Amino acid sequence: MLEPLARPLHLVLVSPQIPPNTGNVARLCAVTGCRLILVEPLGFSIDDKQLKRAGLDYWDKVFLRLYPTYAAYVADYPEARRWLFSARAATSLYEARFEEGDHLVFGSEVSGLAPEVMEGGTGTPVTIPMLEDRRSLNLSTSVGIGTYEALRQVRFT
């Protein structure tokens, strides 16, 4: 069994569009102790049935914060170490050195993270390695890969 981290990881979804992906990430947060941050606009209502169904009965175990903009989120966590996940980043997540309390930031299923986020100096861009000529992974899959790599480093190295 895992014990909660003293300083949990924060999983940040910027403008997610597909309710089951966000529900799956919420479930991941519930079972790992990570915090979930959602940045609007969302492509669904927070009360969406598909969102609730994907999170199953874990919603009462999820620490959730909702922000109206990326800037509002950054203002609330000005000193956070952020890892900006993008299929277009040059640095592999396996080169990153994660620490407790880090923020793992993911963009929408449709367009990823906006250029102003990627180039705005609020974090370090990283990618999940894939075969060439492939567009991207599913959002909740990407969050799971990034989260468990960060937890592996924080807990077992």
Residues 27 and 61 sit within 8 Å (Cβ to Cβ): no
Phi, psi of 93 (to 5 degrees): -60, -20
pLDDT of 120 reads: 94
Q: Is the pTM of this model over 0.85?
A: yes
Which residues have C-beta within 8 Å of that of residue 61, sequence separation ≥ 6? 30
Instruction: Give 116-151 pLDDT, tens digit per residue.
Output: 999 999 999 999 999 988 888 999 999 999 999 999
Mean pLDDT of 4-12: 93
pLDDT of residue 59: 74
Within 10 A of 136 (CB to CB), how many other CB atoms are there? Answer: 16
- pLDDT of the residue at 46: 76
> d(Cα 79, Cα 89) in Å, to the nearest integer?
22
Mean pLDDT of the chain: 91
